[in-house]
Amino acid sequence: MNGAAADLVAFGSKEWFRRVGAASAALGTARFLDALIDLFGCLVRHEARWIIRFSDTAPPEVMHTSRVPQPVVDHYKAICVEFDPFAAHWRLYRETGVRTLSQFSDTVGGVDIEASRQAFCEVSNVSDELVVLLTTVGQSSIGLFLDRWAGDFEEDEIALARKAFPVLNGLQKAHIGRVFDRMRFSGAIAEIEGLGVRPALVQDRHGITIFATPSWQAAVSEHPEILTALRRMDGEHPVIAGGFVVSVETFDKYFPLAPGGRMLSLTPRRRTSGADDAVDRREKLLESLTARERDVFNLMMSGTSTSSISKLLSLTKGTVKNYKLKIYKKSGTDSERALIQRYAERGAHETAS
């Protein structure tokens, strides 16, 4: 049995660090996520496992399961992806960290939790799920799920998962860095679990192209308006072009492939979520703003204060306030709060409780 009591190891023990070493040895390979969920699963008793990718703009993607009957996987893909509370939570808050199914109540992101439980739990025989949501790229997250078939996960088990989270997330970040470092030398993106193959463009901090997947090149060739949209992109807000949502992920200064650069990725556009409606509205507004108004707007959307905007853009506070008034007029809003409510496609939290 996965995670049976006899198979569990103590966090920080010699056996735990041996498994950390095994996960480290798998960095940059297709074996990595299997090793990572083994590292997570050895800490807490459970009966089944899932690995699922969540995204702002695409349905949840089942990447791996263990001891999950195929009819349950099929049921999840056919029925439950639209009602997954973890997916709704990710789209709303983009939080990494630790959560359990039993922590959800009422609704989240428009998802009725009780209806979701009935749609999934009664078919899958799952009573609770303990999930670690990890950092990845392309406005998405990888969820490592441990399922329990009877009872809820206890507070001490949740606390143990939180203790392990920095190790698991750090390994995931190192894995992404290793994959991109390999891309730099191979000239092609590999079929690596945890990243997948999607239209993607990597630029350095000066905007120079470092790498583009063949699918990106094909999409741009067929839809040249994507390149036009790139010139309008500021910050990390997505735009719509050529039937795609164009998302951007900024790299830190230590990222091996493009320190301080960014990755742009394309996801086929869905027209059913409130997030897409917000992207639509933002795109139309940005077309009406001047370059400096766009700068102010993007900083406002990231929660930057008037004083900080003034310093960042070398403007007086009065000038910033004037730009804000012009943005309000063009957007049909009358306050910063109303502007953010209308044009934000997600919350601004970063870590799950």
Out of 268, 296, 327, a domain closes at: 268
Question: Which CATH number does the domain housing residue 280 bear?
Answer: 1.10.10.10
Residues 120-138 pLDDT 10s: 888 899 999 999 999 776 5
Is there a domain that residue 191 lies in? no
How many structural domains does the chain have?
Answer: 3
d(CA 166, CA 303): 26
CA 38 to mean position of chain CA atoms: 22
Q: What is the mean pLDDT of residues 251-263?
A: 72
Here the CATH number for the domain that contains residue 236 is 3.30.450
- Report residue 349's pLDDT band, with 50, 70 and 90 as the boundaries: very low
352 assigned to some structural domain: no
Residue 279 and residue 238 share a domain: no
Q: Taking 70 as the threshold, does the pLDDT of residue 273 lie above it?
A: no
Q: Are residues 49 and 144 in the same domain?
A: yes
- Average per-residue pLDDT in the chain? 82
Asked if residue 248 lies in contact with residue 264, where contact means CB atoms within 8 angstroms, the answer is yes
Q: What is the mean pLDDT of residues 280-292?
A: 80
Predicted local confidence at residue 91, as pLDDT: 81
CATH number reported for the structural domain that contains residue 152 in this entry: 3.30.450.80
325 and 202, same structural domain? no
* CA 207 remoteness from chain centre: 23
pLDDT at 13: 95
Q: For residues 309 and 336, state if they share a domain.
A: yes
Of 50-64, 84-98, 273-287, the range with the lowest mean pLDDT is: 273-287
pLDDT band at 194 (very low <50, low <70, confident <90, very high): very low
- Among 225, 240, 268, identify where a domain stops: 268
Whether residues 311 and 338 share a domain: the answer is: yes
Q: Give the CA distances from residue 190 to residues 34, 58, 106, 183, 184, in Å, rounded to whole numbers and listed in that order.
A: 17, 21, 41, 8, 11
pLDDT at residue 187 tops 70:
no
Instruction: Give the pLDDT score at 350.
Output: 36
Same domain? For 56 and 105 the reply is yes
Summarize the confidence of residues 110-116 as an average pLDDT.
82
For residue 170, being part of any structural domain is answered with yes
319 Cβ contact partners less than 8 Å away, ≥ 6 residues apart: 310
Contacts by residues 331-338 (CB-CB < 8 Å, ≥ 24 positions apart): 331/285, 336/300
pLDDT at residue 232 tops 50: yes
- For residues 233 and 313, state if they share a domain: no
| Residues 112 and 84 grouped into a single domain | yes
- Percent of the chain's residues with pLDDT above 90: 33
Based on the domain organization, do 109 and 208 belong to the same domain? no
In a domain, 157, yes or no: yes
3-state secondary structure of 135: strand
Two tokens at 92?
Answer: 């709303």
pTM of the model: 0.64
Name the pLDDT band for 255 (thresholds 50, 70, 90).
Answer: low
Do residue 9 and residue 148 come from a single domain?
A: yes
Residue 176 in domain: yes
- For 216, the domain range is 198-268
Q: Are residues 84 and 178 in the same domain?
A: yes
Pick the more confident residue, 172 or 281: 172
